[in-house]
Structure 1
Amino acid sequence: MKKWLSLLMMSMLVVGMLAACGTSDDSANGSAGEGGKTEGEKVLTMGTSADYPPFEYIDTAKSEDIIGFDVDLAKAIAKELGYEVKVQDIDFNGLIPAIQAGKVDFVLAGMTPTEERKKNVDFSDIYYTAKHMIVTPKDSGIKTVEDLKGKTVGVQVGSIQEGKAEELKKTVDFKVENRNRIPELVQEMKSGRFDAAIIEDTVAKGFFEKEKELTGFNISDASADEAGSAIAFPKESKLTKDFNRVLNEMKENGELEKLIVKWFGGEQ
């Protein structure tokens, strides 16, 4: 009887070891999806720069979670496609390198699809269009672009506003300095190191609610689409087509407009 029990236990142990090995092999041989994850995980990593309210930011008074219009949009699209979203905070000028390095599956960060960026990543259709704004302290005396002559103007590194500043410099002589994050631009103006900054109007208006000493005016621009925002993907990513399909469905059924009203307070 003891010999029979020993043989039975040995058989069960062998079967268990074989089952474990089989499970390990199945996992190792699983096909990798976007961002190096197995397809079974169904999680996408979104890269963003969480300094850009109301697009993406952290309300530290409530939690350490990244929230905002772009985050809600990403989650809505991903849910329709059967994915969950993990949000990763990265300095704006590091977002495209993060895509190229495979660290994120897509970027949603109020990014404009410029021709230069299109050389490195693919973009979705435009999902939101805003305007450039010159932001200044209320007592600066700066009322027009021409008033920037001889001044120091701040912009975010790698942003479309950085390019806009260089364009404006062709007709008005001023100094351009850049910083990684929008709050840094605001702080430099408050400390007197910057006379003005160029910030997207929707984002600037969000700062005006807290920074009462700041004001601003929109830059007249013949190119209405210049500051349009789109979602960035790795070159040839299958997600581009999938996200575009859901994005356009949201435009048609009113879901995108609901998010715009929630985060920006009204229609564009």
Structure 2
Amino acid sequence: MKKMKMFAAFALAAAMIAGCTACGGSSSSSTASSTAASGTTTSAASAASDSAVAKIKAAGKITMVTNAEFEPFEYKDNDKIVGIDVDIAQKVADKLGVKLEITDIAFDSCVPSVQTGKADFSAAGLSVTEDRLKNVDFTDTYYNASQAIIVKKGSDIKSRTDLNGKTVGVQQGTTGDIYCTNEDGSSDIKVGEVKRYPKGMDAISDMIAGRIDAVVIDNFPAEKYVSKNSDKIQKLDEALTEETYAIAVPKNSDLKETINGVIKELNDSGEMDKIVSQYISAD
């Protein structure tokens, strides 16, 4: 009888130990699962916090910087900034369901503003260059452009090579500025002196006054300047350079994919051509 009681006692103790072990295993497994789930949640939250698009949607607005002295891409009409780039930017804002906010700044501050996070993107007739790509990413290109040469009527400058040794006006920070300044020595044209202006029209005014020999600026603004001063200046048929425009976004930003999608939709639907022709045909 005592043996039976002892056996029963051992059996009961073993059962209790097994039960406790099972409880311990379940608790450990639960803790591990909880930790894993917590890690997944944290990872997802971190990814969301790194998303520029998520932040833009949460803020309810998207910020753009530009230089509103670049007709027809961006310019002021009764204190309102309008133009080709503005219309494209509005399509991006509409796609995200947010408000578009535009800030007019100096052209050479546009890329730094995006790089430092002061703006979500910049649309400013920006040409894609290797130097700019060091600081920002660019979307797909949306326009083929060129750097035009403007001279006074009767000027002895007849072609791009005639700029050699001349005094040339440029808008500060533009690709025309970079090419004419030729700091890296890669340009085939050796300008005698480069004068930089915050606005293209300031350079035109100085040229008309005889203080500089020519102005190098993007083709579309050049056409606008010439049309308004056709009795005094002209644009050469030969361009200085050929280039493309794109929109600048911060490095590794998921906003790039969104804007690329909008650009593709506008091109596929033919709406991009309508936007451009609306401003080109307008005097």
With over 3 angstroms needed to count, the CA separation of the structure-2 counterparts of 1:102 and 1:189, relative to structure 1, is same
Q: Quote the Cα distance in structure 1 between the aligned partners of 2:258 and 2:211.
A: 45
1:42 to 33, 39, 60: 60
Query: Aligned partners of 2:72, 2:186: CA distance in 1, in Å?
Result: 26
Partner of residue 225 from structure 2, selected from 187, 204, 207: 207
After TM superposition, the structure 1 = structure 2 runs for residues 46-125 of structure 1, keeping only pairs within 5 Å, are 46-59=64-77, 63-125=78-140
Q: 3-state SS of the aligned residue for 1:209?
A: helix
Deviations 1:38-65 (A, max 9, x none): 7433211110011100010113xxx111
Q: Post-superposition shift, 1:265?
A: 3.1
Matches of 1:102 and 1:173 in 2, distance apart? 35
> Could you give the per-residue CA deviations for residues 116-160 of structure 1, whole angstroms, max 9, x where no partner exists?
111100110001111221101113232112332432101122111
What displacement does 1:232 show?
Answer: 0.2
| Partner SS state of residue 110, structure 1 | coil
Q: Distance in 2 between matches of 1:36 and 1:182?
A: 37
Alignment of 1:162-173 (within 5 A): 162-165=177-180, 166=182, 170-173=188-191
Shift of 1:90: 0.8
**Aligned equivalents of 2:189 and 2:208: distance in 1?**
27
Q: Alignment partner of 1:130: what SS?
A: strand
Take 1:95 and 1:261, find their aligned partners in 2: how far apart are those partners? Answer: 25
Partner AA of 1:256 in structure 2: M
Tell me how far apart the structure 1 counterparts of residues 62 and 239 of structure 2 sit (CA, whole Å). Answer: 38
| Residues 1:192 and 2:210 are matched in the alignment | yes
Match of 1:236 in 2: 252
Question: Cα offset for 1:77?
Answer: 2.3
Q: Within 1, Cα distance between the matches of 2:99 and 2:152?
A: 42
Instruction: Give ranges in structure 2 of 5+ residues lacking alignment.
Output: 1-48
Q: Is the 8 A contact 2:53 2:255 kept in 1?
A: no
Moved over 6 A (4+): 35-38
1:255 to 260, 271, 276: 271
Give the match's secondary structure for 2:229.
coil
Give, in whole Å, the separation in 2 of the partners of 1:135 and 1:198. Answer: 6
Conserved 8 A contact 1:35-1:102: no
Asked if 1 retains the 8 angstrom alpha-carbon contact of 2:149 and 2:239, the reply is: no
Separation in structure 2 between the aligned mates of residue 178 and residue 118 of structure 1, nearest angstrom: 23
Partner SS state of residue 97, structure 1: helix
Report how many residues are paired.
231
CA RMSD between the two structures: 2.5
Which residue identity does 1:255 align to in structure 2? Answer: E
Within 5 Å, which residues of 2 pair with 1:19-30?
none
SS of corresponding position for 2:69 = coil
**What residue ranges of structure 1 are gaps of 5+ in the alignment?**
1-30
Higher alpha-carbon deviation: 193-202 or 160-169 = 160-169
| Aligned equivalent of 1:227 | 243
The 1:256/1:47 distance shift into structure 2, 3 A limit, reads same
**Cα offset for 1:245?**
0.9
Identity %: 35
Alpha-carbon offset, residue 184 of structure 1: 1.6
CA contact (8 A) 2:160 2:239 kept: no
8 Å CA contact retained: 2:51, 2:253: no
Normalized per residue, the structure richer in helix is 2
Partner secondary structure for residue 241 of structure 1: helix
Q: Indicate conservation of the 8 Å contact 1:32/1:38, yes or no.
A: no
